[in-house]
Structure 1
């Protein structure tokens, strides 16, 4: 391989889960290194898996047959088609309220490029790269305003952690948001792997120069992405202590749970390029 794995970490958000039960997938081939984040789902399963994990695993498997010199648009088309084929042959249990979806950060060895589809993130020469989803930004702003108001009115942080009132108000948005997914013209449109074509404006390519010795790829489970796993984990748990509701400088759609663990699955991959 033309890269060396310095640090690799993939763990689900709940502390009592195994790495097989989360929606994040870390996948390495001789030609590609990928962090793939399956979209969370609260309904339905495909072949016994959550829809997000099913989508992430299908995209990971398709990477193995991707031409080493493929461009990002070519890769997006092939990976999306592979997901569509996997979905067509999957056994559905229950009802899916959102389409099986995943996003990814992928390093192409041959092209020396990082590809971002959706809100996974990368760190190159100290510069952070991430595209936030417009619908998540709006949900976060609403949730932040609501929970801050409730705190001012006398509710406690622990109360809001155990029963977040924003969830029931935001759930219709989360269920409807896929209408914006891979939309070519709507201002709230964004890119994701869901079996449909991804418009090129939703595909981000980050060139990696010959002077770059290390890169970091990660899912959005790290609000603060640092050059090392230890530093990223330390920043995460410092945030959990400082702002367990996630309504401050690093606001999000979910709080840290009272029962332990983090607010989301998290995957971290640090590579030395050789």
Structure 2
């Protein structure tokens, strides 16, 4: 058994609206796991029993990790999460709707440090830094939608719209929304050139889940959601990079191309979580 302990050095979690109850980023910190859970953005605007689908998925994942055995394997953990999501779908009577409209499924990404195995499990596009070495998990499909939105917004500006207009109403998001919805059909699809792994209550292809072995002499690990475009070795530096981006490219379509940008009245373009911890 690993006798080393986890000590949190820095932790920050904030929703794009600044309201904790609706933030779709959640996290876990205990003696056995450190995890960042990033619930998918609600693209329909519909709620499930008063909660956004991504928030619902994140809450299930958070609860299962908190209750998990310290020696639970990645496969066992995901199986337990999916079982709990399937129970929820049956209870709420939404399973048939999800099968017809895949984008209705509560969905989340997960990055989780297992202290027992000294591994980081990276399922989705959250980020990790181990003693200054960055580990990302970007997917091609995000580049496609981000570039399509950037192209559309550049054309909108050429036609006369201003950045301020687009912060009020992001027509670039409207333009790519169909592509975002179609992505849901490619989740956990091992046969598609654009397939990618998420947690949504259905089978995961573990051959495409990144497992990072933490070196025995590693001291500091950072886990973060993709609400941070640039991960740095301190929270202050990471926040400074984000705030600079929000000042210089608030729509996130030039310096940092994303499927979504800042909206007027929001604190950032996405929910965000940063956890820096030490293994001592």
Which residue matches 1:70?
Answer: 72
Q: Residue 22 in 1 paired to residue 23 in 2?
A: yes
Aligned to 2:176: 170
Paired residues in the alignment total: 270
2:5 corresponds in structure 1 to 2
Q: Which one is further off, 70-79 or 51-60?
A: 70-79
Cα RMSD after superposing both structures: 1.8
**Could you say what secondary structure the match of 1:74 adopts?**
helix
The question of 1:11 aligning with 2:17 is answered no
Aligned counterpart in structure 2 of residue 268 of structure 1, from 267, 274, 277: 274
User: Does 1:44 pair with 2:46?
Assistant: yes
**Superposed displacement of residue 153, structure 1:** 4.1
Residues 109-162 of structure 1: per-residue CA shift (max 9 Å, x gap): 001111111111111122221212333221101011121233344432112222
> What TM-score does the superposition give when structure 2 sets the normalisation length?
0.90
For 1:132-211, what aligned pairs fall within 5 Å after superposition? 132-211=138-217
The CA distance in 2 between the partners of 1:260 and 1:108, in whole Å, is 34
Unaligned runs of 5+ in 2: none
Question: Tell me, which stretches of 5 or more residues in structure 1 are unaligned?
Answer: none
Matches of 1:133 and 1:76, distance apart in 2: 21
- Contact (CA 8 Å) 2:71, 2:117: kept in 1 or not? yes
Any idea what SS the aligned residue of 1:36 has? Answer: strand
Structure 1 residues 190-227: Cα deviation after superposition (integer angstroms, max 9, x where no partner):
11110011001331111111211111001110001111
Any conservation in 2 of the 1:72–1:205 contact (CA below 8 Å)? no
The separation in 1 between residues aligned to 2:139 and 2:62, in whole angstroms, is 22
Does the 8 Å CA contact 1:105/1:217 hold for their aligned counterparts? yes
TM-score by length of 1: 0.92
- Give the corresponding residue for 1:88: 90
